[in-house]
Structure 1
Amino acid sequence: MSSEWVEVTEADQVTPEILEAAESIYDGWFAHASRVDWPEFLDRLEGQEFDSIGGRLDLGDSLMSPATRRIKAHIRDYRKR
């Protein structure tokens, strides 16, 4: 796999592999917290390598991009389970 950074800013670029990693981060760091610290959460996710995007995850500069909104929505739904 390439160690190149791959910018993912659109919702349709967020793969199931990225969402699974987000669930793992939630379970490991935030499951018992009263709220998710989104900047910290996204920092933990960003930089991981994913086969599905062919490199390291770069979520761009905005915490409100369509990609980050999709990840946040997924984790909010995941928390309800």
Structure 2
Amino acid sequence: EWCGPCKMIGPVVEELAGDYEGKAVIGKVDVDSNPEVSAKFGVRSIPTLLVFKNGEVVDKQVGAVPKGVLAGKLDAQLA
């Protein structure tokens, strides 16, 4: 709610969810409402985007970046 960069990247995450429907599950977590999730994965700055494969974190992006950067990270794991 209060994080400017999170608000900027939110629509990009939603676009990616549509783009990768059927290929990847993409979602958002409010760290203020779910502090156990941020603690479990060591999230210290937001936005932090985690890429999971087979239940394990395989990539991480801290901060708002262009859609192409995030798509590249997803594509690398789907290849």
The two structures have a TM-score, normalised by structure 1, of 0.26
Q: Which has the higher contact order (CA 8 A, sep 6+)?
A: 1
User: Which structure shows the higher strand fraction?
Assistant: 2
The two structures have a TM-score, normalised by structure 2, of 0.27
User: Which structure shows the higher helix fraction?
Assistant: 1
